[in-house]
Structure 1
Amino acid sequence: MFLDNLSAFLTHPVTGTVLLMVGIIGIALELLFFSSGLLALAGVAGFGLYFLGFYLAGFASFGDLAVLGLGLVLLILELVVPSFGILSVLGAICLFGGVLMASSDPKEAAFMLVIALLVAIVVVIAAIRTFKHRGIWNRFILKEQLTMSKGFTSSPDRSNLVGLTGEAITPLRPAGTALIQGERVDVVTHGSFISVNKAIIVVEVEGVRVVVKAADDQPNH
């Protein structure tokens, strides 16, 4: 008697729709927010109770459970091995297929599934707007703009070297290395050759490109 009452309760269209909502929302939010499995557990419980009702009523078989279980496994694998949504899509297909197969009336189950999906979409959108700073997308986008004012640079700023003198410690042909204020700096000339131990002066800095010339070069008049 108890099992009959439980089956009647779980297979009622309203109860079934709520269980599907819990299942879809739980799984979807887990995929989006990674709640350490708590939401996934709620989702699995929702689908599990839905299946249990129809199993007790004699409509669902172990084959239906296998399809439903495969869908859950694929969705769980998406949490562990991101597949850019492929596993999620396959899992959802199996999951919804299992829901329809387990029901005594596939048309009624499809209607319940549509209602549950619409409600789930609203809930998921609201959750994304509320907890947008915690979503999976933060793994793929840069959360904070990197600017020089915040101390971030793509390369060392060597503009302070302009006007300083040093010494070529390798031949500059035209690229080489110079010693400027005790620091080894990769430098380049405008095409002229400068021999080792020759005094140089920094005339230009363009990003990481430090341009030098011989310190005794005189400008043409």
Structure 2
Amino acid sequence: MDSIFWLVIGILLMAVELVIPGGIVGLIGYCLFMWGVFTGLGGGDIATYAVLGSTIVLLLLLVTFFNHFSKTWIGKLFTLGQRSTTKQGYVSNDVQSDLQGKIGVAHTPLRPAGIARIDDMLIDVVTEGDFIDAGATIVVVRVIGSRNIVRQQF
């Protein structure tokens, strides 16, 4: 009777996981379900092997499912099959390392991110943490990837 209780609680928690995803509730539910299987089989070595074996089989099935899901007919309904590549002309963000040291004007308030006008171009910038009012003179102190870090020029 005790094992049926754990099986039911485990199933209920795994069902809750389907409604409120996150992983922890489902994992606890699975563990309680397996505890119900373990106690239902009377404990001992055979029950341990049954629980471990079914867990390993389940993990292998999940790995196989997730590796091949996007190739199935239903997986194609849930996943995007297109890629945006540089070869097709897609560029995520232009890195402008030549901006370092250039002087411009804050086009919008920089709190701490905003837009600056540098060499007659509007550029996304971020300050080192200070707020800078629109119209203030700024200088680009560093370019890290696509982040243009500026400071107010006095």
- TM-score normalized by the length of structure 2: 0.48
* Structure with greater proportional helix content: 1
TM score, norm. by length of structure 1: 0.35
Asked which structure has the greater CA Rg, the reply is 1
Structure with more of its chain in strand, by fraction: 2
